[in-house]
Structure 1
Amino acid sequence: MSPKHTTIGLHPETKDKLDRYRVDEGESYDKIVNRLLEESLPRSWPTLEELEKMREEGEYIPLEEVIERLGL
């Protein structure tokens, strides 16, 4: 059985930004998104309490803020 795929809607500008993260010409969007998640998410999932503490102490920056800071 082949793996199921889903479709997600992106604004053209978002797709263009995502294209900038492509490592090689044939890299799929699935691979790009997974690589970015692997690089940006912690190795183990924090509890809600740990996440709140990290936010309070400035150790955690929401992805949206990272994107804004980088101008992406």
Structure 2
Amino acid sequence: MEGQLEEVGVGYTFFWSGRSKAERHVADVAFATRNDIVVRLPCLPQDINDRLMSLRLHLRGDKFATIISAYSPE
């Protein structure tokens, strides 16, 4: 399960990935990203599974940075 929510007037969009309510454990993974960055993303954040999510940012030329959000239970 994944989704996104733009907080109007706050300037951020929240992206999340996780399990459905019936399967939910303690936490999901998420990114909070400024809206001025979201409009320039080459693609939206991708969920890898219910504990990993990646975000690809364009730097310059043909260079990109990949940021990973991970949840690890205790």
**Could you say which TM-score interval applies, normalised by the shorter chain?**
under 0.3
In the superposition, the TM-score normalised over structure 1's length comes to 0.26
More helix by share: 1
In the superposition, the TM-score normalised over structure 2's length comes to 0.26
More strand by share: 2
Work out which of the two has the higher radius of gyration on C-alpha atoms and give 1 or 2: 1
